[in-house]
């Protein structure tokens, strides 16, 4: 149980375009989803926390207008990187937590390359 999927697993886009990443909880209802970014050989960086049906809470320094998060259902959250730039190239990972649960389960991640 507690499986989280992400799509796509990798994506290459041109500078200035937008990219949408989907995160799905496959066998549980995720009341809270988290989005992280990880640069090579660096630690996880929490970008934002989203609760189903509510606006996401962004961490300090993360531009909410650039990283659009939608958590419209208990099994799906999306992250849209708008007007992507090469410095946005990174490994984006979502995680999900069920109602009343304490454990976070991670998706496999999406590797974004902006050219």
Between CA 58 and CA 36 the distance in angstroms is 11
End-to-end, the C-alpha distance of the chain in Å comes to 37
**Tokens of residue 47, six digits:** 């970008």
- Looking at the Cβ atoms of 10 and 53, the one nearer to other proteins is 10
- Looking at the Cβ atoms of 82 and 106, the one nearer to other proteins is 106
Between CA 34 and CA 19 the distance in angstroms is 18
- Looking at the Cβ atoms of 87 and 103, the one nearer to other proteins is 103
Residues that bind other proteins (CB under 8 A): 2, 34, 43-44, 46, 49, 91, 93, 95, 102-109
We find the least distance from the C-beta atom of residue 74 to other proteins, in angstroms, to be 18
Cβ atoms < 10 Å from Cβ of 62: 17
We find the least distance from the C-beta atom of residue 53 to other proteins, in angstroms, to be 18
We find the least distance from the C-beta atom of residue 1 to other proteins, in angstroms, to be 12
- Looking at the Cβ atoms of 14 and 43, the one nearer to other proteins is 43
Between CA 43 and CA 3 the distance in angstroms is 22
């Amino acid at each position: 149980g507690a499986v989280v999927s992400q799509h796509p697993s990798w994506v290459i886009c041109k500078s200035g375009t937008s990219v949408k990443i989907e995160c799905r909880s496959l066998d549980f209802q995720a009341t809270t989803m988290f989005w992280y970014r990880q640069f090579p050989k660096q630690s996880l960086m929490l970008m934002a926390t989203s609760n189903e049906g509510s606006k996401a809470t962004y961490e300090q320094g993360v531009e909410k207008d650039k990283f659009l998060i939608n958590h419209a259902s208990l099994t799906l959250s999306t992250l849209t990187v708008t007007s992507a730039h090469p410095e946005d190239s990174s490994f984006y990972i979502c995680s999900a937590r069920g109602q009343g649960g304490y454990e976070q389960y991670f998706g496999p991640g999406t590797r974004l390359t902006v050219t």
